[in-house]
Amino acid sequence: MADERGRRGRRDRPGGGGVDRGAGRRPGPVPPAGTGEVVVGGPPVPEGDLDGLRVLHADLDAFYASVEVLKDPSLAGRPLLVGGVGPRGVVTSASYEARAFGCRNAMPMARARAMCPQAVAVPPDFAAYRRCSSRVMRVFRDLTPLVEPLSLDEAFLDVAGARRLFGDAVRIARLLRARVAAEIGLPLTVGVAGNKFLAKLASTRGKPDGLLVVPPSRALDFLHPLPAEALWGAGRATIERLARYGLRTVGEVAATPRATLERVLGTAAGGQLSELAWGRDPRRVVPFEAAKSVGSEETFASDIDDPDALAREVLRCSVRVGRRLREAGLAGRTVTLKLRFADFTTITRSRTLAGPTDTDAEIHEVAGDLLARVRPGRMPVRLVGVTVSGLSGDGEPVQLQLGRDRPGWRAAVRAADAVRARFGEHAVDLASLAADAPAEAFREARDAPRVRRERPPAEPGEEGQWAR
């Protein structure tokens, strides 16, 4: 699902998003969506093309929704929406059953539920998605060390060096899909091509649960009938400008002299589109890109003007950020508070610490002080966010700090992480986050019937699997 993105910073992705599967397609070489394994131009792959197939783009289908089905198999086959369930909620993932009714990612949840009243709507469980993503990426790295994650649910793989062990790129793609399905239970679409741009386009066209191979000798047969939106970097303004010159397909862009494209779009953009239109993309698969920041945001169902309630939400975001940092083995020095007011005015305030931290209390101490200095209350707030940047690995040296220390907090938050991993996200929390009446919330939790949760067998070295 190319639409579900992890909470870390991500780079631009080739191939574009909203490609019309029908526009500009000639019958024959370009396959329809979801047809299983397809070779452009028909099988088999020409013998001379096998060495040129070296890049895979692997993309999990409707990732968040698929993980929710893993957690609750009764949801299988039903229209499923994952996202904010309040009146201002947004869809972050829609199952293919829900997409049949027109539901899409980034659509307001209220609109999606109106289009598909029978859909089940569930809030996102990012801890489960991160755990599942880690298992999938581990399968990828079993086959090649050259894995470039783009988000939780997709990655590029360079398999040129793995062909002696596992066979050609098509065989490796089959093995990848089979292992992810058997070991994790998720559908995976894979595009196989000679470069990243074509591999990404292939996975987009091969969805859902497909394998689409673009042999280098047939790449232009696949590429040129596609609409110009398929070109990476071609946004709405670019497409409108190309359309004014009668350029609506990739083939028409390719037939246009490079100098003309540079004059119409600018030197950089015109040159890039000219290269991509001929299927040329020299970028290599980069095995790792460190996250630039880790954050958490909350959009409220109704605007908040109560300073105490707002402070509680800042604490909630700080706890989430601390947990995500620890899960990723990261710590950061700069804490940023983000506020969006009822009139959509957005402000940010930041402070840099003497040394990196991954502890909830330290993050909240800074975020809470930044909030107090803003003095909210004059205008209601619709969104709050906390972000930590300036990241480093948690094993790096830590600056010695004099004065107050919190060794107990470090142990406490890690113990809470272990409890949540074992018993679920809501197994333990801060008392100040237990609604407006912590004592009543505690009694409700204490008196609630206990449900036995069975754990699936954990893989070696793996902790915190969800109950099935």
Task: Report, as residue numbers or ranges, the catalytic residues.
Answer: 154
Instruction: List the structure tokens of 401.
Output: 């700090």
DSSP codes of every residue in 134-150: HHHHHHHHHH-S-EEEE
DSSP assignment letter at 228: G
334: how many CB neighbours lie within 10 A of its CB? Answer: 16
What are φ and ψ of residue 307, in 5° steps? Answer: -60, -35
E strand or H helix that includes residue 350: strand 346-357
DSSP assignment letter at 286: P
Q: Sort 192 into a burial class: Cβ within 10 Å, 0-12 / 13-18 / 19+.
A: buried
DSSP assignment letter at 284: P
- Say whether the peptide bond before residue 208 is cis (omega within 30 degrees of 0): yes
Are 313 and 304 within 8 A, CB to CB?
A: yes
Are 152 and 130 within 8 A, CB to CB?
A: yes
318: how many CB neighbours lie within 10 A of its CB? Answer: 26
CA distance 48 to 71: 44
Query: CA-based Rg of the chain, rounded to a whole angstrom?
Result: 24
CA distances from 64 to 1, 120, 129, 134, 459 (A): 9, 13, 7, 14, 22
Beta bridge partners of 213: 39, 192
Of 107, 105, 171, 125, the closest CA to residue 144 belongs to: 171
Query: What is the CA 244 to chain-centroid distance, rounded?
Result: 34
Query: Helix (H) and strand (E) counts for the chain?
Result: 16, 13
CA distance 171 to 173: 5
155-191 residues labelled b (16+ CB within 10 A) or e (exposed): bbbbbeebbeebebbbebbbbbbebbeeebebbbbbb
